[in-house]
Amino acid sequence: AQTVTQSQPEMSVQEAETVTLSCTYDTSESDYYLFWYKQPPSRQMILVIRQEAYKQQNATENRFSVNFQKAAKSFSLKISDSQLGDAAMYFCANGGRNQFYFGTGTSLTVIP
Amino acid sequence: DAGITQSPRHKVTETGTPVTLRCHQTENHRYMYWYRQDPGHGLRLIHYSYGVKDTDKGEVSDGYSVSRSKTEDFLLTLESATSSQTSVYFCAIADRGNQPQHFGDGTRLSIL
């Protein structure tokens, strides 16, 4: 069975500082993708960043970057220069041939 | 924003009644998904569709059925609602199975 584990239910970070959210996964597929989604209090699900498993280079989107360790099946999200608007629930997801598998989420608080 | 509309946005109903949630897309995407979101569980896949009249079960499909008679519409039905089905339901769409999914705004369903 495919699983995604987010071991940090809650995290906090000072504004302008850097925070890293952890995610590990298990999959039997050879071709897969990994994603981080953000869910603010508005309940919208917003794609933050994606990583193709066949690419060794870590994905980066402005202040968001990932550390993808394929052998360890680890996919962490780093948020640099944290802003108040980054406060949200963050979900890691593993996308296989037809389905996504989501972790249980990490609630991020940004302290002014 | 991807053109996804979920209806209704909120619904309160009683145990034992049938309930149908609708997801409508204007993107002509092949894949459509229904998830439920509960505290401590993240998003769990109920059913998904990979084409008109082509559907498959997800992780938590018991008590739910789906139908897709047109590319743009994906219906989720609770034949006889139970209190355990109180949740927030999200529809998502994707061009291909392993590509980023785009989410609707969710439906909050309360079963009393």
pLDDT value at residue B1: 54
Interface with B, mutate which of A3, A91, A98 (most B CBs under 10 A): A98
Domain residue ranges of chain B, discontinuous segments joined by +: 4-111
- What are B26-57's pLDDT values in tens digits? 999 999 999 999 988 889 999 999 999 999 99
pLDDT value at residue B2: 63
- What are A35-49's pLDDT values in tens digits? 999 999 999 999 999
Q: Are strands B10-13 and B107-111 parallel, antiparallel or unpaired?
A: parallel
Q: What is the DSSP string of B21-52?
A: EEEEESS--SEEEEEEEETTTEEEEEEEEEET
Domains of chain A: 3-111 (2.60.40.10)
Contact call for B97 and A47, based on CB within 8 A: no
Q: What's the average model confidence in pLDDT over A76-91?
A: 97
A31 vs B: CB within 8 A: yes
pLDDT band of B100, cuts 50, 70, 90: confident
**Residue in chain A lying closest to B94 (CA):** A98
Contact call for A35 and B43, based on CB within 8 A: no
A43 vs B: CB within 8 A: yes
Residue A1 pLDDT exceeds 90: no
Q: What's the CATH number for B4-111?
A: 2.60.40.10
Strand partners, A102: A93
Residue A100 pLDDT exceeds 90: no
